[in-house]
Chain A
Amino acid sequence: MKLLVCIKQVPDLESRFKPNAEGVWYNETDLAWRMNEYDEYAVEQAVQLREKLGEGTELTVLSIGPDRVVEAVKKALAMGADNAVHIQDPAAAGKDPWQIASIIAAYAKDKGFDIIFTGMQSQDRGSAQVGVTVAEQLGFSCTTTIVGFECDGGNITAKRELEGGIKSVVKMKTPALVTCQLGLNVPRYPTLPNIMKAKKKEITAIPVADLLKDEALATTASFHPPAKKGGGIVLEGDTGVLVDQLIAILKDKTAVLR
């Protein structure tokens, strides 16, 4: 079986974000980077399947971006992926989900992957479109936000989490793509010996120009922090009146008392 897991490197979410000079994305200066959380679930699930299937299975990890994304790629290799593809693109952050998906699909289309794992969304852009768009472009079966995964031959059974905690079960045949959600598994820490061994695993570098043929379908017009609000409402006076005022505000402006 051939498995592919697609990962994105994102800033640590505790970072302070500032718009870049063009005002369409964040400024990357001095940010600490790590693997997108949902992609860690994807890598863990792919590695678990890789371990279950054993010999004859190949797990490739793919990431698009500048040279710094190799660190995230190496983490996935240390977690258990066999080899990697780094699609070199210093301008990946400016591409829309359609273009990113097109790049992945262009790479994957003649490789014979049986299952592709992705995170359900990135923690920075959060479009949640790349996985499903890759599946659509490749003609793969697809289901999203999975919290359970089983694979028996060419049959996948995925458990999905819906709003309000409701679960659903989806069955589909390979080739298939799943997008992974919190709760699917607990990603392993890469062990230190595996981090050192990952150095020897192959990372194939492909310039993005070799794969990208599609124009963007959407462009980001503006990236900015929300406008600063005033200092809030200060209620003063008799306690009984205050309570009534507060309840009225909560009913009117929030969902707390509905």
Chain B
Amino acid sequence: MFLDLTEEQKLIQDTARDFAKAELEPVAAALDQGSDRAPLLANLKKLAELGFMGLNVRSEYGGSEAGVIPFSLAITEIARACASTAVTVSVTNMVAEVIQAVGSEEQRKAYIPKICSGEYAAGGFALTETCAGSDPAGMCAQATDDGDSWVLNGTKIFITSAPYAGVFVVWAVTDKAAPKGKGISCFLVEAGTPGLVIGKEEKKMGQHASATNELIFDSCRVPKSALMGKLNDGFRIAAGELAGGRIGIGSLGLGVGLAAMDYATKYVTERVQFGQKVSNFQAIQWMIADAYTELEAARLLLMNAAYRKQAGKTFAKEASMAKMYATEAGNQACYKAIQMLGGYGYTQDFPVERYARDARITAIYEGTNEIQRMIISREILRNFS
């Protein structure tokens, strides 16, 4: 068994780390506080130019063809500096990958190069609805066959990057009479299509720089060629692609957790109480030991899931395990970090409260951790029955 990274993987990790430290970290706190999104968009463009928007995309479509392990490494390094940037990169990669996996050659050539090059600031993944969160098969948005086009109606919510995404992968019901999950199809809808309205932006607890909006389809007409994959096969596509995205979100949770613990650990080696560094106290030492052990376990779970996906093996269970464990380890690390800083940890003069707010959503989006447990147990129980 070989647990080390290859030279190329190390170089990609170093590039992500160097870029994140130089370009993302200095603006992360201001992005969290402010409403000016220009620095985020500028950095997304630079990340695209470096090849971070198509990490696991083939070079013929403008991707880096670096694989899944570098995808995980890059998201972790980016998240150590700015979780909002990391989630945008993760989702955009997922959109490029889903088009590569199920799109036609024309669709791939039309959209993936624009995503990878940064011509599109981001890609959008429009699945969730008010009535369809953890249960996406219960969605209500519809696409109606109107001869030479499809007409979409309905409302999606919680759509990452909606105001600046260049293209959306959209799921809608195409056969209302079909059994649940069997009548959903997948479409590619370009930003600016008449009838596609970017709705209100959510006011969130964290990840402020990453926009999260409603997406309203008001008789939004798209050509027949916008259908991606087979008709009524969309739900299977969503389920399959979310597994890959979970590696990204787990990696993000790991990155935020590492950032929090690295900050807090340095702090406790400097902070003096009772005439000594607080790192001398066993209570603090145990927090350090527990958090870093959990983060290391998370890293190994992520590497395992990424390796399996890259090797073409089944990876849904492993991706769910990694996502669930890494995001919980990340959240635990952030809350321990706040505790290690004491009252200062709760103030905005120190970054750990931001890390904690940013980390919280990772246990929820891309499938709540309860859904991850359902997937994991289902996969395990299948082998016992």
Query: Which A residues lie at the B interface, using CB under 8 A?
Result: 34, 70-71, 74-75, 78, 189-193, 195-196, 198-199
Interface centre among A75, A78, A193, A199 (most CB of B within 10 A): A193
Closest to B70 in A: A192
Cβ of B280 within 8 Å of any chain A Cβ, yes or no, is: no
Known: A74-B7, A189-B15, A190-B11. 5 other contacts (CB 8 A): A195-B11, A195-B12, A195-B51, A196-B8, A196-B65
Cβ of B135 within 8 Å of any chain A Cβ, yes or no, is: no
Q: Which residues of A contact B263 (CB under 8 A)?
A: none
Taking the closest CB of chain A, its distance from the CB of B292, in whole angstroms, is 15
Q: Which residues of A contact B65 (CB under 8 A)?
A: 193, 196
The A interface is mostly helix, strand or loop, or mixed, namely helix
Q: Which residues of A contact B18 (CB under 8 A)?
A: 189
| Interface residues as binary, B317-332 with A (CB distance below 8 Å gives 1, 0 otherwise) | 0000000000000000
Q: Which residues of B contact A78 (CB under 8 A)?
A: 11
Query: Which B residues lie at the A interface, using CB under 8 A?
Result: 7-8, 10-12, 14-15, 18-19, 49-52, 55, 59, 63-66, 70
Closest to B8 in A: A195
Taking the closest CB of chain B, its distance from the CB of A89, in whole angstroms, is 18
Closest to A199 in B: B8
A75 touching B50 by the CB < 8 A rule?
Answer: no
Taking the closest CB of chain A, its distance from the CB of B350, in whole angstroms, is 20
Q: Which residues of A contact B66 (CB under 8 A)?
A: 192, 195-196
Q: In the complex where A189-B19, A195-B66 touch, is A75 in contact with B49 (Cβ < 8 A)?
A: no
- Ranked 7 nearest A-B pairs via Cβ: A192-B51, A192-B64, A71-B7, A191-B51, A195-B11, A193-B64, A191-B50
Q: Which residues of A contact B63 (CB under 8 A)?
A: 193
Q: Which residues of A contact B55 (CB under 8 A)?
A: 192
What are 21 sample pairs from A and B whose C-beta atoms fall under 8 A apart?
A70-B7, A71-B11, A74-B11, A75-B14, A189-B18, A190-B15, A191-B49, A191-B50, A192-B50, A192-B51, A192-B52, A192-B64, A192-B66, A192-B70, A193-B51, A193-B59, A193-B64, A193-B65, A195-B51, A196-B8, A196-B59
Q: In the complex where A71-B10, A74-B11, A78-B11 touch, is A196 in contact with B50 (Cβ < 8 A)?
A: no
Taking the closest CB of chain B, its distance from the CB of A169, in whole angstroms, is 31
Q: Which residues of B contact A193 (CB under 8 A)?
A: 51, 59, 63-65
Q: Complex Cα distance A103/B7, Å?
A: 25
Closest to A78 in B: B11
Taking the closest CB of chain B, its distance from the CB of A99, in whole angstroms, is 27
Q: Which residues of A contact B59 (CB under 8 A)?
A: 193, 196
Taking the closest CB of chain B, its distance from the CB of A69, in whole angstroms, is 11
Interface centre among B7, B18, B49, B66 (most CB of A within 10 A): B7
Taking the closest CB of chain A, its distance from the CB of B215, in whole angstroms, is 30
Q: Which residues of A contact B10 (CB under 8 A)?
A: 71
Q: Complex Cα distance A55/B12, Å?
A: 28
Q: Which residues of A contact B51 (CB under 8 A)?
A: 191-193, 195
A192 touching B12 by the CB < 8 A rule?
Answer: yes
